[in-house]
Amino acid sequence: MAQARNPKWDRDELILALDLYFRHNPLNINSSHVEVVKLSQVLNSLPIHSNKPDAERFRNPNGVYMKLCNFMRFDPSYHGTGLERGGKLEEQIWNEFANDPDNLRLIAQSIIEGSHQTDVEAMYHDDEDETAFPEGRVLYRQHRSRERNKTLVARAKEKALESGSLRCQICGFDFYEKYGDLGKGFIECHHTIPVSEYTRTIGTKLSDLVLVCSNCHRMLHRRRPWLSIDQLKRLVR
């Protein structure tokens, strides 16, 4: 009987695999290498796939090693014939991260650390933004939880209200002005510390939050590295 297949590799997982690829070329190691086994364990503990039909083989060392080999065909320093297997996402991840292995390293470390944090679990499953977040689901959830820190958001709003109104700090949009009572008190917060720096920063500081309208918030998330507030302001003008 045909076994149900495990879910495809997600961004988080491919980021971790690519990071390992740059530290250990698959040509020099095999599936029993300690780092391959370690990554297999990490992948099994990530809070992103609730459905693992073939749990026994899910991201096992063999599968991890195969995935490393899949990346070879994008590598200009490799002259053999690469495996043709694998999906489009692998190529995307390669294109996005391969030219900056140091940053990739930081993001990979942030994902591993972030995956241990309980608030990351079970939030926003299959949220469309989550699957599109370049650094993967784990860091998306962490980013969101940092900018939804109730106490800090309340303080940021209070501070803004002292000077009169809750305006987008980029384009000046005011939900109250536009939507009347419905929009009263509404504004989003963006946490400005890049996810690659999460391992070096603890918690959220008030000064890391900016108040933004929903449109500007989306635009801030759209480019890597994130646009600074001033950069986006200049674009809006």
Q: Which residues bind Zn ion (CB under 5 A)?
A: 168, 170-171, 173, 190, 213, 216
Pick between residue 60 and residue 204 the one whose CB is nearest to Zn ion: 204
Pick between residue 33 and residue 143 the one whose CB is nearest to Zn ion: 143
Pick between residue 11 and residue 190 the one whose CB is nearest to Zn ion: 190
Task: Give me the least distance between CB of 214 and Zn ion, in Å please.
Answer: 8
Residues forming a β-bridge with 210: 190
The neighbour count for residue 212, using CB atoms within 10 Å, is 24
Residues 6+ apart with CB under 8 A from 194: 225, 226
> 27: helix, coil or strand?
helix
Pick between residue 87 and residue 172 the one whose CB is nearest to Zn ion: 172
| DSSP code per residue over 74-125 | G-TT--SPPP--S-HHHHHHHHHHTT-HHHHHHHHHHHHHHTT-GGGTTSST
Q: Are 11 and 18 in contact (CB under 8 A)?
A: no
